[in-house]
Amino acid sequence: MAIGDATKKNSSVTLCWLAVCSIFFIALTGCSKPPVTITSAQLVESLDKGSGNFDRVLKICFSEPLRTTYYHKVAIVTKEDVKIFGEGILRPLASDPDSKCHLRNVYAYINKDSPVEARQLIKDYVVSGNIRELLIKVYDEKPKGKGLPIAEMLFLEL
């Protein structure tokens, strides 16, 4: 093989490699979700109309309405050191797409790792004025292992 043929072959391999890398980079950056900013959070106790299922609702507000699906984790610590940990999906609101706030039932954060009496602990201790810390973390998708959040906010004394 002549030197010119080897140079052409290396050039075409390099061009193919650059094309593949460019497509991968475009696909990777084209699929990323817009950043979110958590602006406020509060506990709402006035939504329940007697059922007892919506007497503890967490209102999480963002700087902009969510336009795509995210994953979030919350950690609630009361003044009596009752700890509630939960997580779930945050979807754009079909019923109110311009709303910047999401309402999440605190009882929905009960999971297999929660204490047996978690529902009663929430009812007794997770009330306005009794939350020492509320940590909210938002992720692009459900983290595998120790994924880093794209937004995080710690609220004190709610």
For residue 42, pLDDT beyond 90: yes
Tell me which of 12 and 95 has the higher pLDDT.
95
For residue 64, pLDDT beyond 80: yes
β-bridge mates for residue 40, sequence order: 61
The predicted structure's pLDDT at residue 30: 44
Tell me which of 115 and 64 has the higher pLDDT.
64
The predicted structure's pLDDT at residue 3: 56
Token pair for 97: 């797409």
The beta strand positions in the chain, using DSSP E, are 38-44, 57-62, 70-78, 83-90, 101-105, 131-139, 151-156
For residue 27, pLDDT beyond 50: no
- Mean pLDDT for all residues in the chain: 84
**Model confidence pLDDT, tens digit, residues 123-141:** 999 999 999 999 999 999 9
**Model confidence pLDDT, tens digit, residues 81-108:** 999 999 999 999 999 999 999 999 999 9
For residue 21, pLDDT beyond 70: no
Of 87, 82, 154, whose CA–CA distance to 118 is shortest? 82
β-bridge mates for residue 149, sequence order: none
Tell me which of 5 and 25 has the higher pLDDT.
5
What's the rounded mean pLDDT across residues 24-49?
75
For residue 4, pLDDT beyond 80: no
The predicted structure's pLDDT at residue 81: 95
Tell me which of 100 and 6 has the higher pLDDT.
100
